[in-house]
């Protein structure tokens, strides 16, 4: 059972505003108090927040392949152990393990591994929570494959998906697919019926077809701007559809590489902070040195902040969530409330777990991060457990 903790003296970013010099109490893995007066109840530990620090809801990364040497497709417990234990360093307290287009056998091994790890690993209670699976591919367009290996792209097959759904134990939460490859939107309609998010991505569809897919239930867009039909004033494509349709929520990689800073700002101005979900789309090289790595069975060269296939195609990112938040603030001058929405609340709403995650409110999971004014992570608490404390914080 998690110790009870009281954090005092921080700026607490809640659903309704920022509590200045506030108090945040956590008991039994849940948030028990958030206010501007010290609570009367006692706590096992009382921690003073560093000056000018902020408490934010823990970040939720719904599109992450890997990092720190691990990848979802490794299909072993150690990979998920690594991600769960290391992600709190960057402010991520829960995530969706994301697959890539591969041989069916490899995808199935990864799905089963997530199911078994989630139900049996002791690590699952200590670090970032694995909320489920984001199945990216293989039902995508070869014309917009990006870093998805073309040789393993598969025609959309609802029966095959249902097999994978069973293997994953119901843990598939998002499916990225190209709607033009989904005859009569049969898979999109099935996903909607099962409360699984159909996400339009790696698609070359027209704006008209995308609008029809959205009506069928695909109200989510995978990594806006990337691997989708381009914008033209006479054919807005995937980009224009995502920006203009108010009911579509769009993922966004805010590293300034996958999308120019002005494109990031355009997305923010068009969608607002209520309809954007910041993601990393990171691969195993995140947190490691420059070099050559593997992603989806392909060699990826990492130099600086960029990961590229041999033909120059971007192959995921090495972005950390807190770095993305810092860049988002720099590109858009958005508020801390906006950051809380785009890194946590919107993802929780999409996944249907806003009753327990996504904001700082009494009764919700004690998933919180402490950050300075530059988005550096000073501490991360996952379901009441201190998962990461930086050397800059004296909470011994």
Binding residues for substrate: 147, 226-227, 234, 258, 314-316
Token pair recorded at residue 253? 């990689």
**Known binding-site residue numbers:** 136, 147, 202, 223, 226-227, 234, 258, 314-316
What is the DSSP secondary structure assignment for residue 358, as one 8-state letter? S
In terms of C-beta distances under 8 Å and separation of at least 24 residues, what long-range contacts does 295-301 make, across chains too?
295/65, 295/71, 295/100, 295/147, 296/73, 296/100, 296/101, 296/102, 296/147, 296/148, 296/149, 297/102, 297/149, 298/147, 298/149, 300/147
Instruction: Indicate if the alpha-carbon torsion angle 33, 38, 41, 47 is positive or negative.
Output: positive
Residue 199 to residue 219: CA distance in whole angstroms: 7
Find the angle CA(392)-CA(84)-CA(201) to the nearest 5 degrees.
Answer: 115
CB 176 within 8 A of CB 220: no
Locate the DSSP E strands across 14-120: 18-27, 30-35, 45-48, 54-57, 59-64, 66-67, 70-71, 92-98
Active site residue 36: no
Q: Which of 61, 281, 338, 367 is catalytic?
A: 281
**Known binding-site residue numbers for Zn(2+):** 136, 202, 223
Number of neighbours of residue 290 by Cβ within 10 angstroms: 14
CB 324 within 8 A of CB 254: yes
What is the DSSP secondary structure assignment for residue 183, as one 8-state letter? G
Pick left, alpha or beta for residue 111 (phi over 0 → left; psi -120 to 50 → alpha; otherwise beta): alpha
Residue 65 to residue 206: CA distance in whole angstroms: 28
CB 325 within 8 A of CB 331: no
- Phi (first) and psi of residue 132, to 5 degrees: 155, -155
Active site (catalytic) residues: 281
């Amino acid at each position: 059972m998690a110790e009870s903790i009281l954090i005092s003296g921080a700026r607490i970013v809640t659903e309704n505003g920022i509590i200045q010099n506030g108090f945040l109490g956590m008991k039994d893995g849940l948030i028990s108090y958030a206010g501007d007066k010290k609570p009367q109840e006692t706590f096992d530990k009382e921690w003073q927040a560093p000056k000018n620090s902020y408490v934010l809801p823990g970040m939720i990364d719904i599109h992450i392949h890997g990092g720190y040497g691990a990848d979802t497709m490794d299909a072993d417990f150690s990979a998920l152990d690594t991600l769960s234990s290391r992600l709190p360093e960057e402010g991520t307290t829960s995530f969706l393990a994301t697959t890539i287009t591969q041989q069916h056998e490899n995808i199935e091994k990864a799905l089963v591994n997530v199911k078994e790890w989630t139900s049996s690993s002791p690590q699952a209670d200590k670090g970032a929570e694995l909320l489920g699976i984001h199945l990216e591919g293989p039902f995508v367009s070869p014309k917009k494959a990006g870093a998805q290996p073309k040789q393993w792209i598969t025609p959309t097959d609802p029966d095959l998906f249902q097999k994978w759904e069973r293997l994953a134990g119901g843990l598939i939460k998002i499916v990225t697919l190209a709607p033009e490859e989904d005859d009569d939107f049969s898979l999109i309609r099935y996903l909607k019926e099962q409360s699984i998010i159909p996400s339009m991505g790696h698609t070359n569809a027209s704006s008209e077809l995308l609008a029809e897919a959205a009506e069928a239930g695909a109200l989510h867009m995978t990594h806006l701007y990337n691997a989708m039909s381009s914008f033209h004033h006479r054919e807005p494509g995937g980009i224009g559809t995502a920006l203009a349709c108010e009911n579509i929520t769009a993922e966004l990689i805010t590293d300034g590489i996958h999308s120019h800073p002005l494109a990031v700002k355009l997305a923010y101005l068009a969608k607002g902070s209520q309809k954007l979900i910041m993601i990393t789309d990171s691969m195993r090289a995140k947190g490691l040195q420059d070099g050559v790595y593997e992603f989806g069975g392909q060699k990826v060269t990492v130099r600086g902040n960029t990961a590229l296939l041999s033909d120059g195609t971007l192959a995921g990112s090495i972005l950390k969530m807190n770095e993305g938040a810092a860049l988002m603030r720099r590109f858009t001058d958005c508020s801390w409330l906006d950051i809380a929405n785009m890194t946590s609340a919107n993802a929780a709403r999409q996944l249907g777990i806003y009753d327990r995650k996504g904001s700082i409110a009494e009764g919700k999971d004690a998933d919180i991060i402490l950050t300075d004014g530059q988005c550096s992570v000073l501490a991360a608490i996952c379901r009441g457990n201190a998962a990461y404390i930086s050397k800059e914080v004296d909470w011994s």
